[in-house]
Amino acid sequence: MARSALINVMIGAATKAGRSLARDFGEVQNLQVSVKGPGDYVSQADRKAEDIIYTELSRARPGYSFLMEERGAVHGDDDQHRWIVDPLDGTTNFLHGIPVFGVSIALERQGQIVAGVIYNPAMDEMFVAERGGGAFMNDRRMRVAARRQLSDCVVATGIPHLGLGNHGRALIDLRNVMADSSGIRRFGAAAIDLAYVAAGRFDAFWEDSLKPWDMAAGILMIREAGGFLSTRDGGQDMLETGSVVAGNEIIHGALVKTLNKPLQRS
């Protein structure tokens, strides 16, 4: 793929942060971990990766604003551009030595996501998308899976844990999707899940209670790979509501329908 200057900047920042994470991942048991909330941890590795990304992007595009998991909102002189960054999506996986985690960087221009990068350093997989330019994994073009029946599909999701999400609603969703699909997967890193939908590895994905940095890059990636996304209610305000459902056109519609059914009885 021909990379724009913007994408090169984003890949450079994600790669540098990813190398730092990979070094810390090799010594995960030695990391100092502080509790950020029930069942939600933040490590030195997380903060270090965010510092790297902030420094690299600020140097390359001075004045752009940021929305980052740890720093929160950082307002720059340029109010038309905003970086949306998750320096370590899948922190719990990372801290348990599970190699499913990633760096996620998106650029929002005048309210629209125009570029996105998701990098899993443990597997050295770089997922990239630019608005109007397609989506790629390690320079190979990505397309969403072409299956047409939800019963043939593997569907990914997130499952609420201690202190987060609507557990009752999640159990109903799981029961309904279990009954209609070929299988459900829970990887524990929404950015990677979305990238896998774009790559056709997962047929579909749904989750609620996400943050903008969890999904901004992945939303663009799926669109550029030919996929469709909405909230569970069919809206387009995913970043505001934290709800997202994704797949190809047919499977996306089928999954939205399944998620809005009442609980199926055995």
Please, what are the domains in the chain?
5-141 (3.30.540.10), 150-259 (3.40.190.80)
Residue 128 CA to residue 53 CA, distance in Å, equals 16
Does residue 88 have a known ligand-binding role? yes
Q: Compute and round to an integer the Cα radius of gyration of the chain.
A: 18
Mean pLDDT of 35-64: 87
What's the pTM? 0.94
Does residue 203 have a known ligand-binding role? no
Q: pLDDT by residue (tens digit) across 213-224?
A: 999 999 999 999
Residue 72 CA to residue 111 CA, distance in Å, equals 17
Does residue 108 have a known ligand-binding role? no
Cα-based angle 44, 47, 52 (whole degrees, multiple of 5): 125
Does residue 78 have a known ligand-binding role? no
Does residue 174 have a known ligand-binding role? no
Q: pLDDT by residue (tens digit) across 121-130?
A: 999 999 999 9
Cα-based angle 69, 1, 225 (whole degrees, multiple of 5): 60
Using DSSP, state whether 187 is helix, strand or coil.
coil
